[in-house]
Amino acid sequence: MLAYHTVDGVRFAGILNIMDDDGADVFGDAGLDYEELEIMDPIRRRDVLREAGLDPDEFDF
């Protein structure tokens, strides 16, 4: 997945790494589907990530 982030007003594109440092699928391990999260309403997505024990600020959709 391609993800975007902004640093000092400059927008960068990069590959979104949904794997943790051990190579495990972060969303799959939490019982979530990345594609569903991607199309979900942003506020609902934050709630779902929190309910799954994940920090929504760590992910850029």
List, for residues 24-58, the tens digit of each pLDDT value.
578 888 888 888 988 999 999 999 999 999 998 88
pLDDT at 61: 76
CA-CA distance, 38 to 2, in Å (whole number)?
11
Domain of residue 23: give its range. Answer: 2-58
Per-residue pLDDT at 23 exceeds 60: no
Q: How confident is the model at residue 17 (pLDDT cuts 50, 70, 90)?
A: low
- Mean pLDDT (whole number) for 10-30: 62
Task: Please say whether the beta carbons of 44 and 7 come within 8 A.
Answer: no
The total domain count for the chain is 1
Place of tokens 């391609």: 2
Per-residue pLDDT at 11 exceeds 80: no
